[in-house]
Amino acid sequence: MVSCVAEKWWKSRTQPNSLSWTSLSFTVGSSSHSLPFGNIFLLAQLHLEIQCASVFNLAVGFIPPTTLEIFKVSLPLMHAGIMLATGHTWKQQRRFALRTLRNLGLGKRGLEYRVQEEAHYLVDFFASMKGKPVNPAFPLVHSVSNVICAVVFGHRFSREDEAFHDLIKRMLYLGNTGIDRLPRTSCVSLPQLYEIFPWLMSRLPGPHKKALACYDVLSNFTRREIRMHTERGAPEELQDFIDFYLDHIEKVNEPRSTYNEDNMVYSINDLFLGGSETSSTTLNWGLLYMVANPDIQEKVQKELDAVLGPSKVICYEDRRELPYTNAVIHEIQRFSNIISVGMPRVCVRNTTLLGFPLKKGTIVLPNIASSLYDPEQWETPRQFNPGHFLDKDGNFVAQEAFLPFSIGHRVCLGEHLARTELFIFFASLLRAFTFCLPEGVTQVSTEPVMGGTLQPHPYRLCAIPR
């Protein structure tokens, strides 16, 4: 009742220029979804679908002056680190992170070795299940997170480590506190209530508060690791991200330096959050699609057997000899479309985009799904079809519309690492096991659960050793 009145009041406040509660529609798999975010997602006063570089659509709109209160929940996380930072801080932190990842072996054998090591542990884990049904989500995220941990903290965590388990659970909560997981009253969702009563909502308990508490746990974990590094002292040869950052703080001598402990913590959190759930969710979709398409799984396995044999250590470079496997992995990323709508970015000045005037303060949302599902670009956009990445002779072909990592200055910082992980983990798992549904289970849903990323519904599979 209160929420209905509130909704009416909000409508009257935002009209006549807005179209009352509207929503952002987007597609994934075979179906359409909409975000019940009201005019936060701006289809209200102006809604344009702009074709950019012929493959990338952007949903653009003017924000009413009072919008996006819900985003203020994350204000304490802004202005620092990489993902939510802007301007000078963002430039310095992003550049430093990229350079350091390269120093630590990104694009070279060093980092690839970490991925191979984790893939090996993951294969051991599935083998230990002896074909019994298991939900693969947690083992996958554990392994993928460990790659980032090795990079930033300099060590991995065992499957028995309770503190690390807790951290992953909280990270998943952060990633999955998505729109349709937030509670709804009869007419209004929590984000809408937040828009209407920001002062009140910011003081009430709820999932938004829990998400911030989870973030604090992650930050404390990171700070503890930093403390351990400072207590140990600088090694002769810098080993991990923290070593490089501490060394840089000590050496840097510029008046506008943004290198300090807070930015180090937020940058590490960004690498950890950005680099764990994304790759593991994609792999989770990948195993689900293999279970749902046993013929495709078999074809991948035949190719892996023919090219790699049973024991060769799998390298990212091997993808060149494995066009079908490579095409399947690309199609997993395209079809699962895990980051359907990219990070909201704000115009910092009045500008024109492809002839459309955009005022300062306009929020631009990259509609990633619009390129991954563009009917002009893909033969069967709503079907899982590895043929999208193959020519008629079975050679792999890259596609311009394949933009799961976004595009431009803010393109995913971990793209290369993510591609390496997806290839090595997926190929290692499919070479070692055939994945199938548990006995008696005949159907599995390939529809997504909406969250920070689009996730598969929880499911169980059996990993049968080959």
Q: Which two tokens stand for residue 373?
A: 């599902």
Q: Which two tokens stand for residue 246?
A: 């501490």
Contact status, residue 462 vs residue 438, Cβ threshold 8 Å: yes
| Interaction between residue 139 and ligand HEM (CB under 6 A) | no
Nearest-approach distance from CB 275 to ligand HEM, in angstroms: 3
Site for ligand HEM in 4-33 (CB under 6 A): none
Nearest-approach distance from CB 369 to ligand HEM, in angstroms: 11
> Mapping DSSP to helix (H, G, I), strand (E, B) and coil, where does residue 59 land?
strand
What is the amino acid identity at position 130?
K
373 to 412: interface string for ligand HEM, x by CB under 6 A: -------------------------------xxx---x-x
| Interaction between residue 286 and ligand HEM (CB under 6 A) | no
Among 89, 104, 167, smallest CA distance to 416 is for 104
| Interaction between residue 342 and ligand HEM (CB under 6 A) | yes
54: left (phi > 0), else alpha (psi -120 to 50), else beta?
Answer: left
Is 113 or 197 the residue whose CB approaches ligand HEM more closely? 113
Q: How many CB atoms lie within 10 A of CB 4?
A: 12
Nearest-approach distance from CB 107 to ligand HEM, in angstroms: 12
Is 38 or 275 the residue whose CB approaches ligand HEM more closely? 275
Q: Is 449 exposed, middle or buried (0-12, 13-18, 19+ CB in 10 A)?
A: middle
**Among 60-68, 219-227, 273-281, 347-355, the segment contacting ligand HEM (CB under 6 A):** 273-281
Q: Is 132 exposed, middle or buried (0-12, 13-18, 19+ CB in 10 A)?
A: exposed
Q: Which two tokens stand for residue 406?
A: 């976004």
| Interaction between residue 83 and ligand HEM (CB under 6 A) | yes
Is 141 or 339 the residue whose CB approaches ligand HEM more closely? 339
> Mapping DSSP to helix (H, G, I), strand (E, B) and coil, where does residue 363 land?
strand
| Interaction between residue 334 and ligand HEM (CB under 6 A) | no
Task: Report how many residues bind ligand HEM under the rule CB under 6 A.
Answer: 24
| Interaction between residue 275 and ligand HEM (CB under 6 A) | yes
| Interaction between residue 413 and ligand HEM (CB under 6 A) | yes
| Interaction between residue 279 and ligand HEM (CB under 6 A) | yes
Among 422, 399, 340, smallest CA distance to 147 is for 422
| Interaction between residue 418 and ligand HEM (CB under 6 A) | yes
Q: What are phi and psi of 58, to 5 degrees?
A: -120, 135
Nearest-approach distance from CB 280 to ligand HEM, in angstroms: 9
| Cα–Cα dist 193/354, whole Å | 35
| Interaction between residue 94 and ligand HEM (CB under 6 A) | yes
In the beta sheet, which residues pair with residue 390? Answer: 396
Beta-strand (E) ranges in 125-269? Answer: none
| Interaction between residue 414 and ligand HEM (CB under 6 A) | yes
Q: Please indicate if the annotation marks 214 as binding a ligand.
A: no
| Interaction between residue 34 and ligand HEM (CB under 6 A) | no
- Residue numbers in the known binding site are 412
Q: Which residues bind ligand HEM (CB under 6 A)?
A: 82-83, 94, 270-271, 274-275, 278-279, 282, 338-339, 342-343, 366, 404-406, 410, 412-414, 417-418
